[in-house]
Amino acid sequence: MAGLPGAILFCCDHNAVRSPMAEGLAKRHLGSAAYIQSAGVKGEMEIDGFAVEVCREIGVDLSRHRVKSFDDFEDWGEDIESYDLIVALSPAAQRRAQEYTRHHAIEVEYWPTLDPTGLAEGREAKLAAYRQTRDQLAKRIQERFPR
């Protein structure tokens, strides 16, 4: 897809770490140039505190993020087919996103993204892992959606 999509949905497994980070980073990067949301395959968790912290470090506030799943979107009447692009950040999210392409003209991109949960022991090591994921997403967003 050339140019900037009008509506972008980032998705991962739980909408607690990677996809909220991507949503916040993309909103900061693109401003009101695109409608941006995020979702998870499942939505039973809360926003991850380490994700909130490492995004706060660079001026992205995730503290008010509410975890939501694809099923929540459908329950609330949010039309997934209204998105031009779904960016899947995990294999499970990619499979779920591709289900929508059977009946709707939605582009799906898969950005393999490190899941920092459980990768390190101790606060500083955990923050370093989350920063790596944040920075990976920020770089990819800037490359994919140049301003």
CA distance 55 to 3: 26
pLDDT at 125: 96
Residues 133/114, Cβ–Cβ less than 8 Å: yes
The enclosing H or E element of 23 equals helix 18-30
Other beta carbons within 10 Å of 84: 18
Helix or strand or coil: residue 49? helix
Predicted pLDDT at 110? 98
Domain residue ranges of the chain, discontinuous segments joined by +: 7-144
Can you read off the two tokens belonging to residue 62?
């995730």
Per-residue confidence (pLDDT) for residue 80, from 0 to 100: 87
| Tokens representing residue 110 in the block | 């898969």
pLDDT tens-digit profile, the chain (147 residues)? 457 999 999 999 999 999 999 999 999 999 999 999 999 999 888 999 999 999 999 999 999 999 999 999 888 888 888 999 999 999 999 999 999 888 888 999 999 999 999 888 999 999 999 999 999 999 999 999 998
Collect all residues with Cβ–Cβ distance below 8 Å to 48 and sequence separation of at least 6: 16, 17, 117, 130
The CATH code of domain 7-144 reads 3.40.50.2300
Question: Residue 57 has which token pair?
Answer: 């470090």
Condensed to tens digits (0 to 9), the pLDDT of residues 103-115 reads 888 999 999 999 9
pTM of the model: 0.94
pLDDT at position 1: 45
Alpha carbon 41 to chain centroid, angstroms:
11
CA distance 75 to 21: 24
